[in-house]
Every structure is written in C-alpha cells, then in structure tokens.
Amino acid sequence: MKKVIAILLIAVLALGLLAACGSKKKDPSELLIGKWERIDEENDFTHTWEFKEDGTINIVQKGYMEFTGHGEYEVNGDQLTISDGGGTWPFQVDEDTLTVSFPDGDWVFTRK
C-alpha cells in the first residue's frame, strides 16, 4: 500500500513539474520584431511594416499611392504607439499574425 501511495505521489509531482515548465507566453514586443505584410486588394495597396529590435519601424506602402516612412515604436500592454505622425492603437500579435485595430477597422498583417 505504501508503495502505491509513493508511486502516485511521484506521478502527481512529475505532472506538476511538467505543467510548471510549460511554454511561457512571449512578450508582445519580442513577437513584433521582423517584417509584416498586409495586402489591401480592394484599394490596391501592399503595406509592409518592419519592427526592429532597437525600437525603430520602417513602413512601406506600395500600389496606387506609394509611401515610405521611418519612426519609433513602443509597446505598452496591448497598445502600440508609432511616433512621427503615427498614433496609438490596440493590437494583438502571435508568431504569424499581427492585428492592429484602427477606428475604421482592423488591419491584419502576416509575418513575411
């Protein structure tokens, strides 16, 4: 009987350790690093945003109207702020998708 209790106790402890070592949620500012692309077929635009580790961002818009911009960005919780004429918007990011919620609708980018 003691042997069964000891085995059950070891099994419970092992499961607890495995659960504690599970994957940690990555910091959104770390997940942003890299190039993201959004294709707006309705308006014939391609938007590319490149977030760099040093807190800078490059923005390129190609299509009907072309635009290139550079600035700085900051993440505060679920808020993304882009300087130099940008703004602050709610956002969500995972390994492959970046969604920025503008007042007129969400922009969904995919990792490039």
Q: Name all domains of the chain by residue range, CATH numbers in brackets.
A: 26-111 (2.40.128.20)
Do residues 47 and 61 make contact, with C-beta atoms less than 8 angstroms apart?
Answer: yes
State pLDDT tens for residues 74-103.
Answer: 999 999 999 977 899 999 999 999 999 999
Contact partners, residue 107, CB within 8 Å, separation at least 6: 38, 47, 99, 100
Please give the model's pTM, rounded to 2 decimal places.
Answer: 0.75
What sign results for the dihedral spanned by CA atoms 25, 30, 34, 35?
A: positive
pLDDT, residue 14, reads 52
pLDDT beyond 80 at 10:
no
